[in-house]
Structure 1
Amino acid sequence: MSRMEILDNLGNACLTSFFVTGTWDHSKLLQSLKAYQNAEKDERMKSNPDLYFNCATVNKYLENYDRALAGFEAAALKDPSLNASEEVEKMVNLLNKLEILLRGHSKSKRLASLASTIVNSSYKRATLDVLSEGLNKAVAVPGKVLFFVKHENITPLYFLVCNSDQSCFVLSVYGIRNDAIKEGDQLTLLEPHFRNIDFSWKGKCYKFKSIRVDFLEQVLVNGKALPPHQAIRTSIYAQHKP
């Protein structure tokens, strides 16, 4: 087995580990992405459609939507028998749905004022405009759930949320059961991972603010911590054809 094949297998192992441990440890995704990217440096591996598919899958769950779409499209061209084209279609459908919801409710009268939730004094309450790209330590972001966004994948859960400054954002939640958060719930998101999504695909621009939470402990629902039984494991694995 060549070094690049070992790196490919390492990427598969890290991706699988991400799912079987509850889809909360994004360091596994970063390790997987690094292994796949190193494997891609070998000219022989560039003809491997599974490598493109798996790398695109990692980028999807890292919410690097543009890279994921490009990767799935490349995988589909190299091996039409993979379901990569379907993955592109599902992602575009989700992004279009998010865009429509955000556009329709950014100034909606449904954006009611938020009740004040008491959080540990070590956290500073914040609105979206002061968040930094990436992890925001010692920060608490309040919000109200406007919509649960149904889509075609098991994870993550997507919600449209209104912040205390009346702005809307997309919330993606990993490793938590789909009945733990409901429309109308008031949330407090602790140490959120913030992204400004801004890219174009096939001539269409997608631009929105996104917060990701990875741990059960990062979410207070109506002022209360979620109980341990609301954690969930999924069963999605790396694409690998013998």
Structure 2
Amino acid sequence: MQKINKKILGVVGIMLFLPIMVLAESFWVGVFAKSTPYTDQTFTSNKKFSHFKDAINTEWGNGFDIVDISYGDDRWSAVYAKGTGYKQQAYTHHRDLKKFRASVAAYKQKGFELLNIENGEGEWFGVLVKGSKYTGTELEIIRYWEEFRKVIRKRWKEGYVLVDVEPAEGFWIGIFAKSTEQKVQAYSSPDDWDGVSTAIKQRWDDGYSLVKIEYGIGRWFCLFEKNADKKAEAYVANNQFNVFRRSIKKRWDKGFHLIDLAEGRD
């Protein structure tokens, strides 16, 4: 199943750590940053997959692009923004991973690049774009964690950057691409939330920015980048979804943009 959006869209900051609710069972995580290109944002969440796709179409119609998607605790969530610079977006989803990969390849022939992948309810869901800073995207599907780590190192040596990670259904999925921006990347992969907080603080102290958090197959994955211009950052975690939504609004009111979503367990 595929869907294309036909529209054409035309600092050194303080690393800010916001209070975290460290809780057992499921909780939602948001990564925030200032000094992004975004001019406005919206957020949707739906328990039915069909309603989730309807919400995407609605936000596309309102001039927003998908920034990130997440599935967890029977919810499909997405954050959108204006000012992404994308010319066109599309999504594809399949329950069969081979069919998903074939669909991504077909979109690539049309000039789209896969930038986001998520698994939920047995569906592999991918967001593809035209007009991003990434080119030559490659999808790696690896069975074991140690092998995936080797693939990351190999791709970095080849000049690729890691764009997205999705651990699900016994696989480690990575999207790698060439970037128009020079980037130095690093990652940390703790097996509990306390380890995540410690890893983020250490990377911040080393001058890195947090860009993505993922959870799956019993571990967390935090992706960092070191850029010339650092920006103010924050992250939050809440075990109640309505509290999480209020946390998003509070950060928006303080001038932050939501750049990444995740759901995991401690």
TM-score range for the pair, normalised by the shorter chain length: under 0.3
Higher helix share: 1
TM-score of the superposition, structure 2-length normalised?
Answer: 0.25
Larger of the two Rg values belongs to structure: 1
Greater relative contact order (Cα < 8 A, sep 6+): 2
